[in-house]
């Protein structure tokens, strides 16, 4: 009888302690941020042929961890997601889901979608506190010719290969005002 009572007590203790063990197992290490993102608008020259509706961001990625990061995709634009709102609603993407013409695939060849062919080429090593900047072309993805107030944020996952451990890092939000035609540009 003592054995059954002891077993019962151990099972009860196990049931009571398992949620606490799960809580402690999932905290700081898996959710610690390793980088920050900040954005600013890159000035484009009309002399170089850019229109006032052409917008490019300068993204700054900063390693805030205490270890060297090896991230070959740190300056690869497709690793980042643009969130663009026009007057508070999602802005329209350019050529969203444009119908592609099917190219014949030779027998025995493997057909790859465009996203599967993206390969990171840089082998960036970022020391703690080190930053890297790169351009991100907003106007190539979003039509920003319509007048309105555009709020732009850039995001990136901390661990895109393990979504259950990943945290979405968001940049600051940049606001760009596109005036009505004929109106003077905001100061």
Question: C-alpha distances in angstroms, 117 versus 67, 110, 120, 135, 158?
Answer: 30, 12, 10, 21, 21
Instruction: Note the pLDDT of residue 122.
Output: 63
Question: Please, which contacts does 179-184 make with residues 24 or more away whose CB atoms are closer than 8 Å?
Answer: 179/147, 180/147, 181/147, 183/147
- Answer whether CATH 3.40.50.300 is correct for domain 31-96+119-187: no
Report d(CA 21, CA 16) in Å as an integer. Answer: 10
18 has pLDDT over 70: no
For 66, residues 6+ apart whose C-beta sits below 8 A from its C-beta are 128
Contact 39, 58 (CB under 8 A): yes
Question: C-alpha distances in angstroms, 11 versus 16, 17, 20, 23?
Answer: 9, 10, 15, 19
Q: In the predicted model, what is the mean pLDDT of the chain?
A: 78
Contact 58, 135 (CB under 8 A): yes
Q: Which tokens go with 93?
A: 């993407």
Q: Where are the domains of the chain?
A: 31-96+119-187
Report d(CA 48, CA 88) in Å as an integer. Answer: 32
For 163, residues 6+ apart whose C-beta sits below 8 A from its C-beta are 157
Overall pTM surpassing 0.85 (yes/no): no
- The pLDDT tens digits of the residues spanning 104-135 come to 666 655 555 555 446 676 667 899 999 999 99
Backbone angles phi, psi at 185, to 5 degrees: -65, 145
- The pLDDT tens digits of the residues spanning 148-177 come to 999 999 999 988 888 888 899 999 999 999
Report d(CA 56, CA 40) in Å as an integer. Answer: 9
Cα-Cα-Cα-Cα dihedral of 89, 155, 152, 72, to 10°?
-140
């Amino acid at each position: 009888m003592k054995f059954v009572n002891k077993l019962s007590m151990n099972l009860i203790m196990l049931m009571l302690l398992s949620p606490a063990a799960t809580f402690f197992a999932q905290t700081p290490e898996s959710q610690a941020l390793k980088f920050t993102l900040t954005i600013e608008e890159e000035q484009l020259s009309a002399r170089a042929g850019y229109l006032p509706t052409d917008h490019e961001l300068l993204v700054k990625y900063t390693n805030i961890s205490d270890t060297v990061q090896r991230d070959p995709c740190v300056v690869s634009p497709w690793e980042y997601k643009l969130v663009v709102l026009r007057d508070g609603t999602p802005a329209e993407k350019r050529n969203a889901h444009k119908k592609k013409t099917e190219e014949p695939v030779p027998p025995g060849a493997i057909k790859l979608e465009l996203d599967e062919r993206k390969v990171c080429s840089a082998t960036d090593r970022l020391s703690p506190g080190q930053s890297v900047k790169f351009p991100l072309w907003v106007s190539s993805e979003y039509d920003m010719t319509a007048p309105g107030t555009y709020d732009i944020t850039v995001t990136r996952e901390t661990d895109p290969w393990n979504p259950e451990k990943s945290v979405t890092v968001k940049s600051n939000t940049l606001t760009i005002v596109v005036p009505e035609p004929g109106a003077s540009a905001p100061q």
